[in-house]
Amino acid sequence: MKYIFFLLFSLSIYAQDTIPASKSVIALDRMNVVYRGVPNPISFAVNNAKSYIIYGNGVSKKDDGKYIIRPGSGSETKVFVEIENFDGSKVVEEHVFRIKGLPSGFTTINSLGCYKNCIVELTNNEFLNAVVSYEIPDFVFDFKIIVTGFNISFIDKNNNKLDRIIEVNGNRINENTFYEISKFKDVAYLKIENLQIQVVDLDLYICKISPLKILIIK
């Protein structure tokens, strides 16, 4: 009996599908999800077959011989495995995966933040050397986001944005930045915005990042 082993990886997790070459059976009932906007790695092998090919919308082969799926629009995508048996017969396996969008992330400072419309309260001591990050909670992909820079803007008591911006390199409120901020006295709260980020170990582009409001308390 001939078997095809088809695995979909979401980095640290994977699903395995064992399929007789003469039949079409799909066992990816809980792991059949791919994410739009990221390269979803897949790996497969076919036993006791003369040859096989894998294809589908958004499926491509990497230099190392592995495959990835970059799903497009819609709610599902299909991957096909075409198997040629030693007796000359062929069978095509169809695998259907649900497409999900990337979960939303948000800006944090000292690991404090929310998706929108919250104000993080920090003392001066907490604000000095505070670390700014960008987080995507509960996402299955194992990757690291590094903040390489951001802007700090100032909001007055009438909720108007003042004509003052401090550009920060790196991900930390260092002493120089803290000193520059402390010069301004007519400020109700600060905004951290225009995050510049670098995604490590994943070909991912985050196009929109909401600002984070900060209230410095005495």
pLDDT in tens, 19-32: 444 333 333 334 67
Residue 31's pLDDT is what?
A: 61
Q: Do 78 and 122 reside in the same domain of the chain?
A: no
Q: Do 58 and 140 reside in the same domain of the chain?
A: no
Q: What are phi and psi of 175, to 5 degrees?
A: -65, -40
Query: Per DSSP, what are the bridge partners of residue 60?
Result: 68
In which domain, by residue range, is 47 found?
3-100
Whichever domain contains 81, its CATH number is: 2.60.40
Q: Do 168 and 120 reside in the same domain of the chain?
A: yes
| CA quadruple 126, 129, 132, 138: dihedral sign | negative
Q: What is the pTM of this model?
A: 0.68
Q: Do 116 and 173 reside in the same domain of the chain?
A: yes
Residue 212's pLDDT is what?
A: 94
Residue type at position 32: N
Q: Do 211 and 113 reside in the same domain of the chain?
A: yes
Q: Please compute the mean of the pLDDT values over residues 93-103 and round it to a whole number.
A: 87
Q: What's the structural domain count of the chain?
A: 2
Q: Do 92 and 137 reside in the same domain of the chain?
A: no
Nearest to 207 by CA among 196, 192, 218: 196
Interatomic CA distance for residues 196 and 63, integer angstroms: 30
Q: Do 115 and 204 reside in the same domain of the chain?
A: yes
Interatomic CA distance for residues 125 and 182, integer angstroms: 12
Residue where a domain terminates, one of 100, 122, 155: 100
Residue where a domain terminates, one of 63, 78, 100: 100
Q: Do 83 and 120 reside in the same domain of the chain?
A: no
Q: Do 116 and 165 reside in the same domain of the chain?
A: yes
Q: Do 136 and 194 reside in the same domain of the chain?
A: yes
Q: Do 95 and 115 reside in the same domain of the chain?
A: no
Q: Do 37 and 113 reside in the same domain of the chain?
A: no
| Confidence band of 33 (pLDDT split at 50, 70, 90) | confident
